[in-house]
Structure 1
Amino acid sequence: MKLEPRQKGHFLHYTPIQLSDAEQWEFDDGIFQFCSDNVVIGAKKLKFRQVAASNDGRWRIAVTALRDQKATVVAATNSPAKVVELRQGETLIADCDLVKGFTKGIEEDYRKLGHFGKGGGEGYVWYYQGKGKLLVCENDAMGLG
């Protein structure tokens, strides 16, 4: 599906996400595209550490379905995305800002990897813990295919 003019070879990949009134998704800047008419759209202010570690600004879009309804939200990424579910007690550690959105119940943190940052690239990674869903996608520059 291609909905907007882009440079040749640069397409957006659309991921439909079904949500109930019990779920609230937060999306990085530019990921949320459109939704059904029964969605409440808001904003969540980010913590200083989150702002400093990404280029998303100070706010993130937050969406949820109206009470007792199911809704559809469409996210757009430069590479195909996948929804991953975390169970209580599980942790996802991601480098390069690979997580583009997540549900309420997931806690996000930006921390050093290993002792004094040794053990990975620049030494900092994103930690996601809790129970919920995450939207995961590779970055443009990675070229993983």
Structure 2
Amino acid sequence: MAKNEPFDPELVRELAKMVAETDLSEIEVEKGDLRIRVARKIEPVAVQVAPPAPVTAAAAPAPAAAIPAALAPAQPKAGAGHPGAVPSPMVGTAYLRPSPEAKPFIEVGARVQAGDKLLLIEAMKTFNDIVAPRAGTVTAIFVEDGMPVEYGEALLVLE
């Protein structure tokens, strides 16, 4: 704020009014050495979804497409809680083979040693080797070739 310009509380009130009327979260104005920033704290609103009403014989069930994905109950990922699950160390695209015409690195029932390549995850145009953290037998594979994966998602089970 300039030393020779007095502070104008009316300007702050006008800015606060403008923030409230326009649903902005903050506004900042600057003129010379004077800089005023007005911000408001927006509290998150919890939305509670009522449980669905019991379906009677006369009422037809709603098609699955009518339920928004955000409101549908989350399905647990396959193998998420299994003690032998090998989680994805990153977000990316999983590949089970080095090239489309090559044979897969692993198959269900395959024995692997610690450090053996299990699959590839492509992230930001870089292919990352996913190796076996321990020796064991592959008992389940939860990803398909070219499938997107999330961080921490179970890729396979190694027992």
- TM-score, length of structure 1 as denominator length: 0.21
- TM-score, length of structure 2 as denominator length: 0.20
Which fold has the larger relative contact order, with Cα–Cα distance below 8 Å and residues 6 or more apart in sequence?
1
Higher-Rg member (1/2): 2
